[in-house]
Amino acid sequence: MKKTYKLENLDCANCAAKIENAVKEIEGVINASVSFMTQRLTIETEADLDEIMTKVKKIVRTIEPDCEIIF
């Protein structure tokens, strides 16, 4: 399953890269990609999406506190 989310206020390219790396390392995530230019997060997973998104939210809050995930 592939899902795309918008990341609002993602202002720093390096943070986008950091978020991408951290999300990729969550267990159950097959692939993840953060596009700084389109401010989009794409997640591919077979696991429970809600559980993964809770972890993603935490990662985003740590790396870029101003950034918000739009569902």
Q: Which residues bind other proteins (CB under 8 A)?
A: 4, 11-14, 17, 20-21, 33, 35-38, 40, 42, 62-63, 65
Amino acid at 56: V
Q: Of the two residues 53 and 63, which places its CB atom closer to other proteins in the complex?
A: 63
For residues 51 and 27, the answer to whether their CB atoms sit within 8 Å is no
Q: How many angstroms separate the CA atoms of 47 and 30, rounded?
A: 9
Q: Of the two residues 1 and 37, which places its CB atom closer to other proteins in the complex?
A: 37
Q: Of the two residues 41 and 53, which places its CB atom closer to other proteins in the complex?
A: 41
